[in-house]
Structure 1
Amino acid sequence: MIRRKQDIKTIYITMLMVLAGISVCALKAQEPVRPIVQQVSFPNDTLRITEFGAKGDGQYINTEAINNAITTVNEKGGGVVLVPGGLWLTGPIEMKSNVNLHIQRDAVILFTDNFDAYELVESNWEGEPAWRNQNPISGKNLENIAITGTGVIDGNGGAWRMVKRDKMTDAQWKKLVASGGVVDEAGRIWYPSESALRGATTQNAGKGHAGQTAADFRDVKDFLRPNLLVFTSCKRILLEGVTIQNSPAWNIHPLMCEDLTVRNLNVRNPWYGQNGDGLDIESCKNVLVENSTFDVGDDAICIKSGRDKAGRDRGMPTENVIIRNNIVYHGHGGFVIGSEMSGGARNIWVEDCSLVGTDIGLRFKTTRGRGGVVENIFINNINMVGIPGEAILFDMYYGLKGQLPKAGEGGAALAEIPPVTAETPRFQNFVIRNIKVNGAEKGIFFRGLPEMSIKNILIEHAHIVAKKGVELIEASNIVVKDLTLKTANTNPLIHIDNSKNIVFTALKPIDNIDLLIQVSGAKTEKVVLTGTKAESVKKTSVFSNGASEKALIIK
């Protein structure tokens, strides 16, 4: 029996994986069934906010009128609350079940910059319970809700956010300081008020204890910025068509929700906006994000599930998520998981997205103390252009200042390795295919923990143009198949440190390569290179910091 060429190739790669000790089952596990996200449905009944006294002149405060319209539609059994053309200044909007808030194309909902309109409430901040100012749009324990249309929701975030001096031109900084507010003693950060500055210098501002009330946080109220749109423990949600922009902190934050659809949104924040995330999906189940555009000041599309003990105690992973056909411009990360992922994340598909100018492309970040398991992540067909940092990054030292000590470098000794506990995070079982990158600082970077490597990752069919190539630190069971790599710095093209069971097959370096691979660390073993086009390679390998030449197998 003559096997097809593709069958023979698959068998050969499988043999190499076995040679390296890689679990074939782990890398070829069958994908979970994709979720079916339940959709919203509303009666046709429509009430206009003008029927409740709303005025779209940009001066009248419409808080009562908009909320009365929402309550009335809810009490009638559901329907549409229509926001017609105009500039609608308002305080916090509280959504109700079975209500579709529909914003027409020529309508702008602008939230007031009067902080007194926002009460201090028990809320959530970066994955932990905290006191914050009331969210401009919120809803809790609701079902069948929507915000639709083609108009604009503006959070007036410039009134809330601090701004760093190094993110402004001289003229912009001078104008900002002249507008009011205060600057810290170092002259580096502008704050909108003394209260905001006081909060910035207060440890764990907003983090409460049993028995505390809003009065305990009054002196730092201005610092406790809200997220623009927060739905908590809601079911069947639709966000479609509108522009959501200029948030005080995160733009959109669904928390512990189920059956969420995000479609055709335009999500915007100033690039310098502190904590200016686009979409943070936290401890949610059954989610679809499609055909949307993000241009924001922090991570763009981000998966979270709580921080440290609070996230582990909640025990609600974000799971069953489809993210497709989106475009991200500026953002600290294009598609991101972490760093608050203590409840875990699993069964997530990301496909057919373009990341244009994001600081990092695919960004997976965590640190000791988080705990949580991130697994079964399937990424396919991603375009990246002009990435200032890494195209693909796995980092388990998020927030680290300075360099990690390594054995044998200047006499430095490795720090004591802690035991594996519930506080140890895990990244495992990722399949990343069909990646095209034109311009990045580094193509691929993994940095795991000595006690918990980044493991069971397949990267297949990647074409990368970057300044630097590939660096894998504390990784195991990694297969990189069909990687075309063009770099400016070719010394080395690939660096493997304290990692094991690594296979590169059909590696295609472009242009002259000074050094193909550097192997370092006494723990490194079973690194396999096969089918590498090495005609332009001046030197194949070097070994350092206790690495054995037996650790590298070239076929």
Structure 2
Amino acid sequence: MKHLLLVPGALLALAAARPVAPTPAALPTTAAELPAVRQAQFRKDTFSLRQYGAVADGQTLNTEAFQKAITACATKGGGTVLVPAGLWLTGPIVLQNNVNLHLANGALVQFTADRSKYPLVKTTWEGEDAVRSQAPISGVDLQNIAITGRGTLDGNGDAWRPVKKSKLNETEWKKLVASGGVLNDKKDYWYPSAASFKGNQLAAAGTPRKSMNLGDFDDIRDFLRPNMLSLTRCKQILLEDFTIQNSPAWTIHPLLCEDITLRRVTAKNPWYGQNTDALDLESCRNGLVENCTFDVGDDGICIKSGRDAEGRKRGVPTENFVFRGCKVYHAHGGFVIGSEMSGGARNLFVSDCSFLGTDVGLRFKTARGRGGVVENIYVDGVAMTDIAGQAILFDMYYAAKDPVPLAGESSEPPVIAAQPLGEGTPQFRGFYIKNVVCKGAETGILVRGLPEMSIKDISLENITLESKKGMLCQEAENIRLKNVTLLSTETKPVLEVQNSKNISFDNLRYASGADLLLRVTGDRSQDIRLTNTNTKLAKKDVELGQKVSKKTVVVATR
């Protein structure tokens, strides 16, 4: 093989010795090193909702009764507001200090479909200041609060969300259209009302209203779908055991909160429900999310910290969280960071989670203009099945041309011109992922950085991925794969490396009979090492692009 530098066995350790850059000493390397999460505690006093005039007939609007009970509880120093079994219809609920809203087994709190009951408020949307409709449940500047119990919160989100015809079968679509609402000109998009349609059209045209004046939005109120559970600048939060479903938009959204415990919570939304993320932790610190189950129409567990200039100005990362024992069914991503991560994210530990049928498994996404640094992310123990897209995805430029060429297209990397570095340049670095198994995905691993800012310092170890395509690594640096199995059915190539450097494949396993094991392209590719790997199982081991030096790839014999 004239294009390869063959390293004898005696030099094998030296060839694979260059490690991923070490984690800075200031950053924790285990979940045990994180700050302890302060727990919410409550007085034993109980205030039953029925004492304040509530009626569980599914017809009486109990908004006032909820607020009377919560206020009485808070005024007397806190305790538990008990929601007994039954169907309780209500408008927005506002939490108060030291109150545990406890949903008894059999309690169903359903928020009214009357959108006029949700006044416009100043809040945020997707990481930026915005006017929206008031959340069904909210709390601002609170301490020591909880929602507990085995009851259910239903947001009546069908009254808010637009729906694409392609998302429903013919019977479902006809039923939806017959219920009222408005269709677009093509008759392939349903909106709950004319106001919803108008707001969506403005957004689609790239002309959203930029104002914080509530009066400027009266005519598109129905478009301004609220997040269901919105907590802002709150501390010592406990969310435990309940089911929260049918959200108008994001389901659980703590913003600038501290000391959050989320345990055994189930979030359910229709798979076609737009923007219905299960959990969005935005600019929060110190928390535990364990044994939760999510099945939604957008991302499952999602880490955010503000968008673009506003997020950078806020400058508050999401940090110091443990996620363990969670299951995510339908979702755009199982565990997700971004894309609104302009304040950064760090010190996140994920373990023993399952993603079953999500679009992407581990999904780390950003784009030019975001800025922010995502670092020190640990994943240990993830099981995935039936992933529609990538099992593991790092993507800093997801608007770019798909780097994996279609049949007949050039295998050279797409031309993506570098841009000057600036405050809007995002950074991904320091990811440590091990003990991951995926049975069924479109692509095993996709790493795509920017020409001006590569994705750096990623360790992938003890991983088995069964997928259609293997791995694509573009604009990356210091990427280490050890004991990784890529069982891909499209094997030309199994591995694609474009404009990347210091890439190590140690003890790589793949299906016997692969057409091509490794293709390297791009004139900036350098220092690609393939060690402890049986290259003879492939019909061809390495293929180099026209601008790639013959010394770029080092293959160590076994």
Normalising by structure 2, report the TM-score: 0.93
Q: Taking structure 1 as reference, are residues 458 and 415 closer, same or farther at Cα in structure 2, changes over 3 Å only?
A: closer
Q: Taking structure 1 as reference, are residues 13 and 68 closer, same or farther at Cα in structure 2, changes over 3 Å only?
A: farther
Deviation (angstroms), 1:507 = 0.5
After the TM superposition, which of the residue ranges 141-150 and 508-517 deviates more from structure 2? 508-517
1:275 aligns with 2:272: no
- Residue aligning to 1:304: 304
1:228 aligns with 2:228: yes
Taking only aligned residues, the RMSD between alpha carbons, in angstroms, comes to 2.1
Matches for 1:152-171 after TM superposition, within 5 Å: 152-171=152-171
- Residue aligning to 1:459: 460
- Residue aligning to 2:484: 483
Query: In the TM superposition, what whole-angstrom CA distance separates every residue of 1:48-67 from its partner, at most 9, and x where no partner exists?
Result: 00000000000000000001
Structure-2 separation of matches of 1:290 and 1:413: 41
The size of the alignment, in residue pairs, is 539
Matches for 1:415-426 after TM superposition, within 5 Å: 415-426=416-427
Secondary structure at the aligned position of 1:174 is classed as helix
Q: Taking structure 1 as reference, are residues 205 and 144 closer, same or farther at Cα in structure 2, changes over 3 Å only?
A: farther
Matches for 1:6-405 after TM superposition, within 5 Å: 16-18=16-18, 23-26=20-23, 31=29, 33-203=33-203, 207-209=209-211, 212-400=212-400
Structure-2 separation of matches of 1:495 and 1:98: 55
Q: Taking structure 1 as reference, are residues 24 and 428 closer, same or farther at Cα in structure 2, changes over 3 Å only?
A: closer
Structure-2 separation of matches of 1:182 and 1:322: 44
| Residue pair 1:512, 1:536 contacting (<8 A) in 2 also | yes
- Residue aligning to 1:506: 507
- Residue aligning to 1:529: 530
Query: In the TM superposition, what whole-angstrom CA distance separates every residue of 1:194-225 from its partner, at most 9, and x where no partner exists?
Result: 0001001114676543xx52111111110000
- Residue aligning to 1:496: 497
Q: Taking structure 1 as reference, are residues 15 and 31 closer, same or farther at Cα in structure 2, changes over 3 Å only?
A: farther
Structure-2 separation of matches of 1:114 and 1:235: 31
Query: In the TM superposition, what whole-angstrom CA distance separates every residue of 1:142-187 from its partner, at most 9, and x where no partner exists?
Result: 0000000000000000000000111111111111111100111122
Structure-2 separation of matches of 1:34 and 1:105: 34
Deviation (angstroms), 1:509 = 1.1
Deviation (angstroms), 1:387 = 0.4
Instruction: Identify unmatched segments of 5+ residues in structure 2.
Output: 1-8
Secondary structure at the aligned position of 1:41 is classed as coil
Secondary structure at the aligned position of 2:135 is classed as coil
| Residue pair 1:130, 1:207 contacting (<8 A) in 2 also | no
Secondary structure at the aligned position of 1:352 is classed as strand
Counterpart of 1:111 in structure 2: which amino acid? F
Secondary structure at the aligned position of 1:166 is classed as helix
Structure-2 separation of matches of 1:431 and 1:15: 21
Secondary structure at the aligned position of 2:40 is classed as coil
Secondary structure at the aligned position of 2:196 is classed as helix
Deviation (angstroms), 1:40 = 0.5
Structure-2 separation of matches of 1:219 and 1:437: 47
Structure-1 separation of matches of 2:21 and 2:285: 29
Percent identical across equivalent pairs? 51
| Residue pair 2:413, 2:498 contacting (<8 A) in 1 also | no
| Residue pair 2:394, 2:446 contacting (<8 A) in 1 also | yes
Structure-2 separation of matches of 1:236 and 1:357: 33
Deviation (angstroms), 1:13 = 5.3
Secondary structure at the aligned position of 1:513 is classed as coil
After the TM superposition, which of the residue ranges 26-35 and 37-46 deviates more from structure 2? 26-35
Secondary structure at the aligned position of 1:259 is classed as strand
Q: Taking structure 1 as reference, are residues 263 and 441 closer, same or farther at Cα in structure 2, changes over 3 Å only?
A: same
| Residue pair 1:486, 1:511 contacting (<8 A) in 2 also | no
- Residue aligning to 1:6: none
Structure-1 separation of matches of 2:474 and 2:257: 36
Q: Taking structure 1 as reference, are residues 547 and 15 closer, same or farther at Cα in structure 2, changes over 3 Å only?
A: closer
| Residue pair 1:235, 1:259 contacting (<8 A) in 2 also | yes
Counterpart of 1:283 in structure 2: which amino acid? S
- Residue aligning to 1:551: 552
Structure-1 separation of matches of 2:218 and 2:37: 41
Structure-1 separation of matches of 2:492 and 2:416: 28
Q: Taking structure 1 as reference, are residues 478 and 45 closer, same or farther at Cα in structure 2, changes over 3 Å only?
A: same
Deviation (angstroms), 1:402 = 6.7
| Residue pair 1:17, 1:503 contacting (<8 A) in 2 also | no
Secondary structure at the aligned position of 1:515 is classed as coil
After the TM superposition, which of the residue ranges 454-463 and 164-173 deviates more from structure 2? 164-173
Deviation (angstroms), 1:415 = 4.4
Deviation (angstroms), 1:413 = 8.1
| Residue pair 2:417, 2:451 contacting (<8 A) in 1 also | no
Q: Taking structure 1 as reference, are residues 415 and 362 closer, same or farther at Cα in structure 2, changes over 3 Å only?
A: closer
| Residue pair 1:35, 1:321 contacting (<8 A) in 2 also | no
Counterpart of 1:47 in structure 2: which amino acid? F
- Residue aligning to 1:541: 542
